[in-house]
Structure 1
Amino acid sequence: MIEKKKYDYLIVGSGLYGSVFAHEAIKRGKKCLIIDKRNHVGGNVYCEKIEDINVHKYGAHIFHTNDKDIWDYVNSFVEFNRYTNSPLANYKGQLYNLPFNMNTFYQLWGVKTPNEAREIIKSQIDQALITVPSNLQEQALSLVGKDIYEKLIKGYTEKQWGRPANELPAFIIKRLPVRFTYDNNYFNDKYQGIPIGGYNKLIDGLLGDCEVKTGADFFENRADWTAMAEHVIFTGNIDQFYGYQFGRLEYRSLRFEHEIVNEENHQGNAVVNYTERNIPYTRIIEHKHFEFGTQPKTVVTKEFPEDWTPEKEAYYPINDKHNNALFEKYKSLSKKEKNVIFGGRLATYQYYDMHQIIGSALKATATHFNSTN
């Protein structure tokens, strides 16, 4: 008789994908252990309380979706507020509203009507004389023209990806949102907000009945961890799972500098982008504005894009032809696994918004448990 293992599921990584999978498995009567190499749960949505402010430790996370089921799902764990993302762009000391809308066009050119704005953008696109864009710079010029590109896109994008815009592939900018209305709401989605009390409340709600071990690196004791459970849900780097046998996948990383400022209100907005190339950070985040805070002090975070090395956190996959071909090799191996499910941005080498991660985890659990019943 084969001895039953201690857990039905070992879940590697306590970000949104792992936490949703754990919650759904426990709802179905399964026993789960979730492990994370960091000293906290929640992955990149983790918040640290500083000066009574929920600080987004790994960059701004603003929840948005058009899917009412997913909106209702997250709100079943914690109530979300009515925060609307309306970032600003700072270029050489001048402020511009984002996304590109009539406020932006008035700030750029002094125009007040949609027709005036359309004419300027069309004129600049025509002057660019680009029929088939071969790189990101040409793609952007063919979509929005010279002024918007040079002031609001070029420097920010080059910092983000660490390369000149004319050396970046065009597909990175498939489209650019241009609105001919006075509307600073960055997202078009029907539902948008921040958990009241921070994202930790969402994660704690998902993991309320799950056994959790933090500071636990799967790869340091891989055989022992795997032996504990019937199935493994893996949300880490897929190339590391397979010992980098085809080579390493590439990413961009981020570094954050957090600062307590002895002011009630430092910049008047949660997110201000800095679009000049010679300013090393891409944006400054003032966290209290996510929850309409009135604390006497404030916390601001500068976000610096960096080249990725294995010692750093992998944030953005570099989905060029080389890396995508490499990932397909690892993906083909993953399809042969009988007791391992791969999910999340690192395991699938794809950038996701939060609602997409949650949706993919819910779909994976439904598919998995329907097939095992």
Structure 2
Amino acid sequence: MKEYDYLIVGAGIFGAVFAYEAGLKGKKCLCIDKRDHIGGNIYTKNMEGINVHAYGAHIFHTSNKEIWDYVNTFAKFNRYTNSPIARYHDELYNMPFNMNTFHAMWGVITPKEAREKIEEQKKESGIKEPKNLEEQAISLVGKDIYEKLVKGYTMKQWGRDPKELPSFIIKRLPVRYTYDNNYFNDKYQGIPEGGYTQIVEKMLEKCEVRLNTDFFENKEYYMNLADKVLFTGMIDEFYDYCYGYLEYRTLRFETEVLDEENYQGNAVVNYTDYQTPYTRIIEHKHFEFMCQNENPLSKTVITREFPATWKPGDEPYYPMNDEKNNEIYQKYKALADKEENVIFGGRLGLYKYMDMHNVIEEALKLTEKVL
């Protein structure tokens, strides 16, 4: 008989949900992670009394009441609404594209005027069947919005000219003919008061956790510790890259403490011109309305986010789900489907971009199936 029922590789949200549900069923679990903290990319740490999103902005949103109720059992969520600002040089625009954006761009006031302006630019482009991301974007929102708010940001985010990117990456661009700056359409939205780390801590309470522990440094040993393994790392790495590397985009973060109460007036400001090397600046205290207190903190913490091409050894963030990579993934998935004692999950294990609510939903579906 083995020491554990389940070995969970990765202490992110997927692994933590699984560990929590397994614990409720009386299963003995060990969770290992190569980082020195739990929480994966939703890890938050306290700096200067501010909860800092260490791996970029994480705003919880869902239309699924069950998922919303589930996360609220682990933390109290505030009423934060994601309303990013787009900065193109010294011009400021609201996101997603809405009447505030169109008024700032063209001076239009009514939805009819905005529609006419966009339709006029779409017609001028002459694009009937978009062949790439650039053509797709112009055929959705016209040339002005594309040039100022989509092109440079996309080039930085994906590291490629939009003409070289497939059109399906942006099948839709949110366009609203209302004065509504709420980025998400979901019914439920917010940030946990006190940060995300507390949620994962509670989920892992009944699970043994070992940090600074790399599964691949002693794979055979860890594989033999438990009856079954839940692997949430990169699926191609698990199979020693036998079909080649899957591609990702990675991110680099520069976090800085500033001696001022309020640096940019908003949690997220996107820099949409190509010349600015980062895609956005996050000012963390706005996630918990800390500039609205009677005695706001005299310091603030900002993070600049720099996308980069992933190479082995880097932290993988966004799967490059283009045709070439999806074909490689299908080969790895065929191997995974034959595994009797290994289950794959999470963004990296499933090679799939997912928001937090999707990850929790997938993890709960898995627990229902296997537990």
Q: Does TM, scored on the shorter chain, surpass 0.5? A: yes
One of 290, 296, 299 as aligned partner of 1:297: 299
**Structure 2 unmatched ranges of 5 or more:** 291-295
Counterpart check, 1:132 vs 2:129 = yes
Give matches, 1:1-373, under 5 Å. 4-293=1-290, 294-369=296-371
Question: Does structure 2 retain, via aligned residues, the 8 Å contact 1:345–1:351?
Answer: yes
Question: Does structure 2 retain, via aligned residues, the 8 Å contact 1:274–1:282?
Answer: yes
Question: Does structure 2 retain, via aligned residues, the 8 Å contact 1:78–1:205?
Answer: no
Report how many residues are paired: 366
Could you tell me which amino acid in structure 2 is paired with residue 323 of structure 1? N
Distance in 1 (alpha carbons) for counterparts of 2:331 and 2:199: 35
C-alpha displacement of 1:201 = 1.2
C-alpha displacement of 1:230 = 0.3
Distance in 1 (alpha carbons) for counterparts of 2:77 and 2:299: 23
Which residue of 1 is the match for residue 293 of structure 2?
none
C-alpha displacement of 1:296 = 1.6
Distance in 1 (alpha carbons) for counterparts of 2:29 and 2:250: 31
> Per the alignment, in what secondary structure is the counterpart of residue 210 of structure 2?
strand
Distance in 2 (alpha carbons) for counterparts of 1:289 and 1:205: 25
1:310-345, Cα deviation, whole Å (9 max, x unpaired): 111001111111111000000000000001110000
C-alpha displacement of 1:226 = 1.2
C-alpha displacement of 1:55 = 0.5
Could you tell me which amino acid in structure 2 is paired with residue 79 of structure 1? K
1:42-77, Cα deviation, whole Å (9 max, x unpaired): 000001111011110100000000000000000001
C-alpha displacement of 1:92 = 1.3
Question: Does structure 2 retain, via aligned residues, the 8 Å contact 1:78–1:195?
Answer: yes
Distance in 2 (alpha carbons) for counterparts of 1:259 and 1:153: 27
Distance in 2 (alpha carbons) for counterparts of 1:115 and 1:333: 54
TM-score by length of 2: 0.98
Distance in 2 (alpha carbons) for counterparts of 1:28 and 1:295: 44
> Per the alignment, in what secondary structure is the counterpart of residue 75 of structure 2?
coil
Could you tell me which amino acid in structure 2 is paired with residue 82 of structure 1? R
Identity across matched positions, percent: 64
Distance in 2 (alpha carbons) for counterparts of 1:93 and 1:164: 23
Distance in 1 (alpha carbons) for counterparts of 2:222 and 2:77: 36
**Structure 1 unmatched ranges of 5 or more:** none
C-alpha displacement of 1:38 = 0.2
1:334-363, Cα deviation, whole Å (9 max, x unpaired): 000001110000011110000000000000
C-alpha displacement of 1:198 = 0.1
C-alpha displacement of 1:20 = 0.2
Could you tell me which amino acid in structure 1 is paired with residue 297 of structure 2? Q
Question: Does structure 2 retain, via aligned residues, the 8 Å contact 1:226–1:232?
Answer: yes
C-alpha displacement of 1:210 = 1.2
